[in-house]
Amino acid sequence: MAKLAITVSPQIVKNGGPITKDVYKSHATQVWERGALLKLASGLLTPVVDTSKTSAEIDTDDTGTTGARLFVALDDHLTAGTVFVAVQEIQADSIIEIQLLNAGAGNATSADVAKGTAYAGYQIDTGTVDGSALWGIDVNDTTNPVFSVIDVQSNYLPFKASADYDFVYVKVLSAILA
């Protein structure tokens, strides 16, 4: 059972692509929350969710292994329909601040990850939409990883780091992005 400790949506903190609200459209049947991880598929944005629906992991089965264009949703999109949406593209040098969680049990801290190691993500199902804004790095999952840890919060904000649910800076693995 996942430790449902994600309380803050991930955000691009450095080197994000342009913020756009009139360039990309949503897929007609998809909805998501602000902060959701999105991918461009057939010219339309859809949430990155576990394709098997048997777990909530976010790995290369969901993003693809190469040529992906990934985005962070800047607004809720809770009504299905093909409309322009506000997003920021994740680029090869983009740094995302994201919360850690332990999809096994217990709390996750920066001591549970290693800088330079790649991990899969994990999405918390909010029960309302597949494109949940509550996703983080699963400290237990290095299979088919998407994100590489570049720094831990205790280094970049040493006086703010939480004892229970630390944050990290990550990049999307460059091989995954277009």
In degrees and rounded to multiples of 5, residue 2 shows phi and psi of -70, 145
Residue 1 domain flag: no
6 in a domain, yes or no?
Answer: no
Please measure the distance between the N-terminal and C-terminal CA atoms of the chain and give it in whole angstroms.
Answer: 34
Does residue 30 lie within any of the structural domains?
yes
Would you say residue 42 lies in a domain?
yes
Domain contains 63: yes
Half-sphere exposure of 60 (CA within 13 A, CB side): 18
Task: Report yes or no on 5 lying in a domain.
Answer: no
Which two three-digit tokens encode residue 110? 């920066």
Structural domain containing residue 136: 11-172
pTM of the model: 0.87
Residues 6 or more apart in contact with residue 159 via CB below 8 angstroms: none
pLDDT of the chain, 178 residues: tens digit per residue: 334 556 778 899 999 999 999 999 999 988 888 888 999 999 999 888 755 555 577 888 888 889 999 999 999 898 889 999 999 999 999 999 998 887 766 677 788 889 999 999 887 765 555 566 678 888 888 999 999 999 988 888 877 756 555 889 999 999 999 6
What is the total count of domains within the chain? 1
The Cα-based distances of 155 to 76, 84, 109, 111, 158 in angstroms read 32, 38, 13, 12, 5
Q: How many residues does the chain have?
A: 178
User: What does the block give as tokens for 168?
Assistant: 């990290």
Place of tokens 């461009």: 40
Give the DSSP H/E element, type plus range, for residue 136.
strand 135-138
